[in-house]
């Protein structure tokens, strides 16, 4: 006697639907053996399909016990039933449940790939199966192009490919003409020689010739169970070894699914392109905003706030020498090195009776581009000015300005620099300098040195010794302030009559004074003799200075003496990097080489609004990512709805939840990668100036490699989340329900 492969003992199936209980079938007792060809008949609604679904493990049961090879199944979970289906059950449906967008070959191959076979080793087997069902001619035809009979033969071949001991066919001839139906039944009867075949049919005459057993159902119960023919004895039950689908097959199927329905592919691609473009442009807009917020602070120490500036000094506090600059210039990222860095932060007013121009000072060697008006300088006092054409003095009054003598006025003290007179001989108009920002004057090295010494004086702590007492010299106060003047001999000093009270007998003439100086870099001192004292009457004749009031109290000394105090080589320089994005990398390189660094960006004081902009930007970006996620999820879900039947089909063939999800992930990742990298190519073409799209330029300007990686990761994570969410939804419903709904 053959053993029972399936046994149902008092099994009932109920449907719970919105509080209403419907009966699928009640208290069914049945046993099935290998070698049987069972026909189940009965009127519509009598529970035939429900019974087959329970036996197939596609649906659960509520009461009783189903045994598989003697083993109870009432405790089976979803995974156990998945395994059971894979090893035991081949399904054939009235509506075929094939993958319409696959060829005949691919449909049969699919089940073998899902069972862990590799593509190569199954080729002969697939072709043999196709020959067995007489479809060799159609092996590469899309299933959607076949007739019903042909489709059902593909379904049979597919069921046979699984090589399971049980084949279950629910009205396999229901949609077929009688000739095709006959062929199908014949095929099934051949199969049943060494398998258990259970078939539901409305048309018993059609199967009568072949069946070994007839079961009639009525109202969820067995009305009749009759053996027609004896079954062969001692048939061996073969249960196939199934492993899981391998990675190559997964990738192959995932990619096949991506492209096999072109309109679906294009729709998903469009969604992903939209996500990519929206995300990237919003992210770069945010980066731009953040960048502007970071660089739009203010500062009491520095005037030149260019974002690519790094201030450096040596870690051992010694002055820079030519080797240092050579060493630094080996760093590729560096655009320019400004040795006389103090000058960058020197803002002056260029003034005379008619003009008042606010400007920062630059070295003429750094001037780039051509002059729009006038000519290049030929001597020390001639300078070039760079500014905005809309500026009143530089634009409108340009012709008046050229070649007029101007004085330098300190912006803090209002003091006129007696040592330096300048003439603007050339003007360059620059778009990058806006109306409100500084103009720049370009002067030669002599002027730069003079100005540098003055800055050194500003930054130094200076005391002047008269007799036994020190008097503090403050740059911002005329009294005891030191100023160079070419009319004075070396070693001498001119002081105001008003300082005579510091000396014995109220007379400082021929007295010694000593200047002591200390700053963060060095100490020095200088001995001088007071050779003249000035007053309101003689200042003009002595020193050619008209304005007594604003100069009274100043100690005038010889320019060489002055330079010896303040010209102590360079202790601090500035570097401008080629690209702000490279600033951190450059700072690291400089630190490695032994220089202390200060990014100008880090010296900025930012008010609350810039912080607010940053926070708002972050919030908006995160909100956008979330909104995009849901938009794309719902759109992709609608598009993928057509795929429900595919996933139900592969599930029915034994694919697990995990595998379905992975196939979907591969599919979405393929599309998202195509979308992302197409956009990257567009960005690159823009970068090469092959075309020029404004918002892409923003992307190019503000995104770094790190940002591209972040965006890529967001896209990948979104794809995985969408796949997970979609497959969860897919698996919430039973396979049967999905199949029924889709048909
Ligand atoms: P048959 O295949 O014999 O036509 P079915 O097995 O499809 O019959 O249906 C048996 C009974 O179970 C019917 O009364 C039907 O209304 C009910 N039924 C089937 N599927 C569902 C379902 N998903 N929800 C509720 N009731 C169902
Ligand atoms: Mg039915």
HEC string for 321-375: CHHHHHHHHCCCCEEEEECCHHHHHCEEEEECCCCEEEEEEEEHHHCCCCCCEEC
Integer Cα distance of 228 and 332 in angstroms: 92
3-class DSSP assignment, residue 401:
helix
Atom of ligand 1 lying closest to residue 48 CA: 3
Q: Give the residue, by CA position, lying nearest to ligand 1 atom 22.
A: 15
CA distances from 31 to 5, 69, 373 (A): 8, 11, 106
Pull the structure tokens for residue 450: 């003079």
Integer Cα distance of 446 and 365 in angstroms: 12
Region for residue 586 given its phi and psi (left: phi exceeds 0; alpha: psi -120 to 50; beta: otherwise):
alpha
DSSP string, 716-731: HHHHHHHHHHHHHHHH
- Torsion, Cα of 110, 111, 114, 115 (10° steps): -140
In this prediction, residue 650 carries a pLDDT of 86
Atom of ligand 1 lying closest to residue 52 CA: 6
Q: Give the residue, by CA position, lying nearest to ligand 1 atom 8.
A: 45
Q: Give the residue, by CA position, lying nearest to ligand 1 atom 7.
A: 49
Integer Cα distance of 174 and 155 in angstroms: 14
Atom of ligand 1 lying closest to residue 23 CA: 12
3-class DSSP assignment, residue 668:
helix
In testing the pocket of ligand 1, which one of 16, 24, 28, 171 has its CB within 8 Å of the most ligand atoms? 24
- How many CB atoms lie under 10 A from the CB of residue 674? 16
Integer Cα distance of 83 and 655 in angstroms: 9
The residue whose two tokens read 């000093």 is 493
Q: Compute, in angstroms, the gap from residue 221 CA to the centroid of ligand 2.
A: 14
Q: Compute, in angstroms, the gap from residue 49 CA to the centroid of ligand 1.
A: 7
Q: Compute, in angstroms, the gap from residue 50 CA to the centroid of ligand 1.
A: 6
Pull the structure tokens for residue 139: 């092996």
In this prediction, residue 457 carries a pLDDT of 76
**Residue 656 φ then ψ, to 5°:** -80, 170
Q: Compute, in angstroms, the gap from residue 549 CA to the centroid of ligand 2.
A: 113
Pull the structure tokens for residue 719: 């794809």
Q: Give the residue, by CA position, lying nearest to ligand 1 atom 12.
A: 24
Q: Give the residue, by CA position, lying nearest to ligand 1 atom 17.
A: 24
In this prediction, residue 652 carries a pLDDT of 81
Q: Compute, in angstroms, the gap from residue 22 CA to the centroid of ligand 1.
A: 8
Integer Cα distance of 208 and 201 in angstroms: 11
Atom of ligand 1 lying closest to residue 46 CA: 3
Helix, strand, coil: what percent of the chain each, to 5? 45, 25, 30
Q: Which ligand is the nearest neighbour of the Cα of 44?
A: 1
Angle (CA) 33 39 43, round 5°: 135
Q: Compute, in angstroms, the gap from residue 13 CA to the centroid of ligand 2.
A: 15
Contact in structure between 175 and 92 (CB atoms under 8 Å): no
In testing the pocket of ligand 1, which one of 49, 58, 222 has its CB within 8 Å of the most ligand atoms? 49
Atom of ligand 1 lying closest to residue 217 CA: 3
Q: Compute, in angstroms, the gap from residue 48 CA to the centroid of ligand 1.
A: 8
Q: Kindly calculate the radius of gyration of the chain based on its CA atoms and give it in whole angstroms.
A: 46
Long-range contacts of 589-596 (CB under 8 A, 24+ apart): 589/331, 589/333, 590/310, 590/312, 590/328, 590/331, 593/327, 593/328, 593/331, 594/314, 594/315, 594/316, 595/312, 595/313, 595/314, 595/315, 595/328, 596/312, 596/313, 596/314, 596/315
3-class DSSP assignment, residue 439:
strand
Q: Give the global pTM.
A: 0.65
Atom of ligand 1 lying closest to residue 44 CA: 4
Integer Cα distance of 564 and 319 in angstroms: 15
Integer Cα distance of 229 and 298 in angstroms: 99
Q: What is the DSSP letter of 60?
A: -
In this prediction, residue 551 carries a pLDDT of 86
- How many CB atoms lie under 10 A from the CB of residue 537? 10
Contact in structure between 37 and 189 (CB atoms under 8 Å): yes
Q: Compute, in angstroms, the gap from residue 348 CA to the centroid of ligand 1.
A: 93
In our burial notation (b when 16+ CB lie closer than 10 A, e otherwise), range 139-177 reads beebbeebebbbbbbbbbbbbbbbbbbbbbbbbbbbbbe
Q: List, for residues 171-229, the tens digit of each pLDDT value.
A: 998 888 888 899 899 988 888 888 999 999 988 998 999 999 999 999 999 999 999 88
Angle (CA) 94 98 99, round 5°: 155
Alpha helix segments (H runs only) across 347-486: 398-401, 445-459
DSSP string, 262-280: HHHHHHHHHHHHHHHHHHH
Q: Compute, in angstroms, the gap from residue 184 CA to the centroid of ligand 2.
A: 18
In this prediction, residue 162 carries a pLDDT of 87
In this prediction, residue 742 carries a pLDDT of 47
In this prediction, residue 453 carries a pLDDT of 76
In this prediction, residue 743 carries a pLDDT of 45
In this prediction, residue 123 carries a pLDDT of 94
CA distances from 502 to 216, 464, 467, 508, 570 (A): 132, 11, 8, 7, 35
Integer Cα distance of 171 and 165 in angstroms: 19
Is residue 716 exposed (0-12), middle (13-18) or buried (19+ Cβ within 10 Å)?
middle
**What residues pack around ion ligand 2 (CB closer than 5 A)?**
49
In this prediction, residue 679 carries a pLDDT of 94
Q: Which ligand is the nearest neighbour of the Cα of 51?
A: 1
In the chain, which stretches have pLDDT less than 70? Answer: 1-2, 295-301, 432-437, 605-609, 733-743
Alpha helix segments (H runs only) across 437-581: 445-459, 539-543, 559-566
Q: Compute, in angstroms, the gap from residue 25 CA to the centroid of ligand 1.
A: 9
Atom of ligand 1 lying closest to residue 22 CA: 26
Q: Give the residue, by CA position, lying nearest to ligand 1 atom 25.
A: 15
Q: What is the CB < 6 Å shell around ligand 1?
A: 15, 17, 22, 24, 42, 44-50
């Amino acid at each position: 006697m053959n053993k029972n492969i399936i046994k149902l003992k008092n099994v009932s199936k109920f449907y719970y639907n919105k509080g209403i209980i419907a009966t699928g079938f009640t208290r069914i007792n049945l046993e099935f053996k290998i070698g049987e060809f069972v026909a189940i008949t009965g009127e519509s609604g009598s529970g035939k399909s429900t019974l087959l679904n329970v036996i197939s493990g596609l649906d659960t049961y509520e009461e009783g016990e189903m045994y598989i090879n003697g083993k109870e199944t009432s405790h089976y979970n979803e995974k156990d039933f998945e395994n059971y289906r894979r090893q035991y059950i081949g399904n054939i449906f009235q509506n075929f449940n094939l993958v319409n967008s696959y060829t005949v070959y691919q449909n049969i191959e699919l089940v073998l790939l899902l069972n862990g076979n590799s593509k190569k080793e199954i080729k002969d087997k697939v072709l043999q199966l196709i020959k067995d069902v007489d479809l060799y001619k159609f092996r590469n035809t899309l299933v959607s192009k076949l007739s019903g009979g042909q489709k059902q033969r593909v379904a049979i071949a597919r069921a046979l490919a699984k090589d399971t001991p049980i084949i279950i066919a629910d009205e396999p001839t229901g949609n077929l003409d009688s000739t095709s139906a006959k062929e199908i039944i014949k095929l099934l009867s051949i199969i049943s020689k060494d398998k258990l075949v259970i078939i539901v049919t409305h048309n018993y005459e059609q199967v009568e010739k072949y069946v070994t057993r007839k079961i009639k159902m009525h109202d969820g119960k067995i009305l009749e169970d009759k053996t027609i023919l004896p079954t062969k004895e001692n048939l061996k039950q073969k249960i196939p070894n199934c492993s899981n689908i391998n990675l190559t097959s997964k990738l192959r199927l995932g990619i096949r699914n991506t492209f096999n329905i072109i309109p679906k592919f294009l729709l998903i691609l469009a969604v992903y392109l939209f996500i990519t473009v929206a995300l990237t442009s919003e992210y770069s807009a945010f980066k731009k905003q953040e960048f502007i917020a970071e660089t739009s602070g203010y500062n009491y120490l520095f005037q030149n706030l260019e974002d690519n500036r790094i201030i450096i000094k040596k870690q051992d506090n010694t002055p820079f020498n030519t080797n240092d600059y050579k060493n630094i210039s080996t760093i590729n990222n560096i655009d320019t090195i400004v040795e006389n860095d103090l000058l960058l932060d020197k803002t002056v007013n260029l003034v005379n009776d008619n003009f008042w121009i606010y400007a920062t000072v630059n070295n003429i060697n750094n001037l780039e581009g051509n002059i729009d008006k006038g000519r290049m300088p030929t001597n020390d006092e001639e300078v070039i000015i760079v500014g905005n054409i809309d500026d009143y003095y530089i634009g409108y009054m340009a012709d008046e300005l050229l070649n007029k003598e101007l004085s330098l006025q300190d912006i803090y003290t209002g003091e006129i620099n007696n040592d330096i007179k300048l003439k603007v001989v050339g003007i360059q108009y620059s778009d990058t300098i806006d109306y409100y920002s500084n103009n720049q004057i370009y002067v030669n090295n002599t002027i730069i040195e003079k100005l540098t010494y003055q800055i050194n004086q500003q930054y130094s702590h200076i005391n002047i010794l008269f007799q036994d007492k020190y008097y503090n010299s403050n740059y911002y106060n005329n009294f005891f302030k030191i100023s160079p003047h070419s009319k004075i001999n070396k070693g001498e000093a001119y002081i105001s009559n008003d300082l005579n009270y510091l000396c014995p007998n109220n007379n400082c003439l021929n007295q010694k004074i000593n200047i002591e100086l200390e700053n963060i870099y060095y100490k020095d001192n200088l001995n001088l003799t007071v050779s003249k004292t000035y007053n309101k009457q003689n200042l003009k004749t002595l020193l050619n200075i008209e304005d007594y009031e604003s100069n009274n109290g100043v100690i005038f000394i010889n320019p060489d003496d002055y330079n010896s105090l303040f010209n102590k080589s360079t202790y601090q320089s500035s570097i401008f990097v080629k690209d702000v994005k490279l600033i951190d990398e450059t700072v690291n390189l400089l630190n490695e080489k032994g220089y202390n660094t200060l990014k100008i960006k880090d010296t900025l004081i930012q008010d609350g609004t810039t912080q607010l902009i940053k926070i708002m930007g972050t919030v908006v970006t995160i909100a956008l990512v979330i909104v995009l996620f849901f938009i794309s999820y719902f759109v992709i879900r609608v598009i993928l709805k057509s795929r429900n039947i595919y996933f139900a089909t592969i599930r029915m063939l034994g694919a697990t939840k995990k595998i379905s999800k992975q196939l979907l992930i591969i599919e979405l990742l393929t599309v998202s990668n195509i979308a992302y990298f197409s956009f990257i190519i567009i960005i690159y073409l823009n970068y090469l100036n092959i075309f020029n799209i404004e918002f892409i330029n923003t992307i190019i300007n503000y995104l770094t490699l790190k940002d591209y990686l972040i965006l890529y990761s967001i896209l990948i994570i979104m794809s995985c989340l969408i796949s997970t969410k979609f497959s969860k939804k897919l698996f919430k419903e039973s396979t049967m329900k999905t199949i029924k709904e889709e048909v």
